[in-house]
Amino acid sequence: MGFQPERAAALRIDPNATYKTQEQKNAYFTEALHGVLDVPGIEAAGLSDALPLGRNRNWGIAAKGMIYTPQTYPYGFPRIISEGYFRAMGIPLRTGRDFTERDTKGSLPVIILNETLARNLWPGQDPIGRIVRTDNPERTVLGVVGDVRHLALEEASGNEFYIPMRQTDDYGTVDLVVRTSLPTAQLASRLREGLRPVESNLPTSDLRTLQTLVDRATSPRRFVALLLGGFAGFALILASAGNLCSDLVFGESAPHRDWDSDGIGRVADGGEATYLGRDYAFGGNGRGDWTDWSAADNAAGDFAFVWRDRDRPFDVRGDDCDPCSHGRAGRVFARTASGSD
C-alpha cells in the first residue's frame, strides 16, 4: 500500500469562512496541528487535501530543461499536504527532507516527489535540488518518498508529487491525519479538546480510521469472491444432482470416465477404451488437449459425448433417460464453472 493504516485516523477540519487569506489559513493550520500534537497519545499529525484510495486529479509536471511532445508530456497526481503528513501516514522518506512550517508562500517554492515520478523525470540521477514546472513556474525538489497506491490496492501508484499546503491555496477540503496510541473510542473526544482553540464546535462524527479506507477499497473484491463462491455452491448442487441421476440409472457398477496424464478422456470400468473430447464428439480424430479448450467448448464436447454415445457403452438411449443425459451434462457444466479438472 505504501502507507501504514494501523493506529492512524483522519478527521475533516476545513477552515471556516472567517479564514479568507492564505496567511489566515496558514495560521489556522499551525494552531490546529500544535493543539493536536499537545494531546497525550498523539504521536504524529499532518494535513492533506486527498487521502489514499480516494479522489484524484491530474496536473502536468515537467523537468526543467527537458523537451516533451504532447504525447510524452508527464502528468502526475498532486497532493497538497502539511509538514508531519508523511510520518502520520507512515509513508517513508527515501531521501532529502520533509516540509516544515517555514515552507510558506514567501519562501522558496518546493516539492516532494514519489519514487516513480523521480525515476521517470531523471532516470538514474539524483533528483534532489532539481527543478520542476507544475502549478508554480518552478519548484525545487526537496525530497523523495515511497510510492503510495492512491488509486486502488491492485494498481501501481503512478506519478505523484506533494506540494506544501502553506504555499498554495489550490485545494478544497482538508483532512487531519493522526497517528496515535489512543483507543478509537477515546480519540474523538481528545481531538475535540486539542482543536477547541481553533474550532470550538468541531464535529467529530466524520472521524474514521485509515483501516476503514482500506476495507472500503477491498469490499468490491470481497463481493466478487462471495459471488463466485455462490456460483461454486450452485455448481456443486448441479454436480450432486447429476451423480444421483447417474447412480439411479446405471447403478454402482456403471462405467465412469477417467483422464490420462496427457489430458485425454477415456471410458473405463468395462467399456471399450474410447477417446473423448471435442474432436471425437464431432467426428475428429479424438485426440485433443482438454486443458487448451475454453469452458464452453469443454461443456459442449462433453454434452455431445453424452448424446452421441447414448447407446454405447452405457447402452442408454435418448428415449430411455434423456433427463439423465442432461444431468450428466449438468455435472460437466458444474465442474467447469467450479474450475476443477
Is 68:113 a contact under the CB 8 Å cutoff? no
Q: Please state whether the peptide bond connecting residue 313 to the residue before it is cis, i.e. omega within 30 degrees of 0.
A: yes
Is 148:114 a contact under the CB 8 Å cutoff? yes
Task: Between 170 and 315, name the one with better pLDDT.
Answer: 170
Q: What is the pLDDT of residue 296?
A: 44
Q: How far apart are CA 60 and CA 49, in angstroms?
A: 18
Give the three-class secondary structure for 277. Answer: coil
Give the three-class secondary structure for 210. Answer: helix
pLDDT of residue 287 exceeding 60: no
Residue with cell 464452453: 296
pLDDT of residue 46 exceeding 90: yes
What is the pLDDT confidence band of residue 308, given thresholds at 50, 70 and 90?
very low
Burial of 324 (0-12, 13-18, 19+ CB in 10 A): buried
Give the three-class secondary structure for 78. Answer: strand
pLDDT of residue 303 exceeding 60: no
Q: How far apart are CA 77 and CA 51, in angstroms?
A: 12
Q: How far apart are CA 156 and CA 278, in angstroms?
A: 41
Task: Select the highest-mean-pLDDT range: 36-40, 245-249, 307-311, 321-325.
Answer: 36-40
User: H/E element holding 111?
Assistant: strand 110-114
Count of CB atoms situated within 10 Å of the CB of 294: 10
Q: What is the pLDDT of residue 56?
A: 76
Q: Average pLDDT, stretch 200-228?
A: 70
Q: Average pLDDT, stretch 307-323?
A: 44
Strand 75-81 with 160-164, pairing: parallel
DSSP per-residue string spanning 37-56: HTSTTEEEEEEESS-TTS--
Q: Average pLDDT, stretch 141-161?
A: 86
**For the chain, what percent of residues have pLDDT higher than 90?**
47
Q: What is the pLDDT of residue 206?
A: 80
Average pLDDT, the chain: 75
pLDDT of residue 223 exceeding 80: no
What is the pLDDT confidence band of residue 132, given thresholds at 50, 70 and 90?
very high
What is the pLDDT confidence band of residue 217, given thresholds at 50, 70 and 90?
low
pLDDT tens digits, 29-39? 999 999 999 99
Strand 175-180 with 8-12, pairing: antiparallel
Q: What is the pLDDT of residue 17?
A: 83
Choice among 62-76, 196-210, 236-250, 317-331 with the minimum mean pLDDT? 317-331
Q: What is the pLDDT of residue 248?
A: 54
pLDDT tens digits, 157-192? 789 999 999 999 898 889 999 999 999 889 999 999
Distance of CA 267 to the CA centre of its chain: 46
Domain ranges of the chain: 8-206, 218-338
What is the pLDDT confidence band of residue 249, given thresholds at 50, 70 and 90?
low
Nearest to 60 by CA among 163, 159, 168, 172: 159
Give the three-class secondary structure for 340. Answer: coil
Q: Average pLDDT, stretch 78-94?
A: 97
Q: How far apart are CA 291 and CA 341, in angstroms?
A: 9
pLDDT of residue 225 exceeding 60: no
Would you report the helix, strand and coil content of the chain in percent, each value rounded to 5?
35, 20, 45
pLDDT tens digits, 319-339? 444 444 444 444 444 444 444
Grid cell of 324 as nine digits: 439423465
Grid cell of 297 as nine digits: 467448448
Task: Between 47 and 274, name the one with better pLDDT.
Answer: 47
From residue 208, alpha-carbon distances to 79, 85, 131, 241, 293 in Å are 20, 16, 37, 48, 48
Q: How far apart are CA 143 and CA 147, in angstroms?
A: 13
Indicate whether this model's pTM tops 0.75. no
Choice among 97-101, 186-190, 201-205 with the minimum mean pLDDT? 201-205
Q: What is the pLDDT of residue 201?
A: 79
End-to-end Cα separation, the chain, in angstroms: 35
Q: How far apart are CA 42 and CA 181, in angstroms?
A: 7
User: What 3 state SS string does 161-208 have?
Assistant: EEEEHHHCCCCCCCEEEEEECCCHHHHHHHHHHHHCCCCCCCCCCCCE
pLDDT of residue 205 exceeding 70: yes
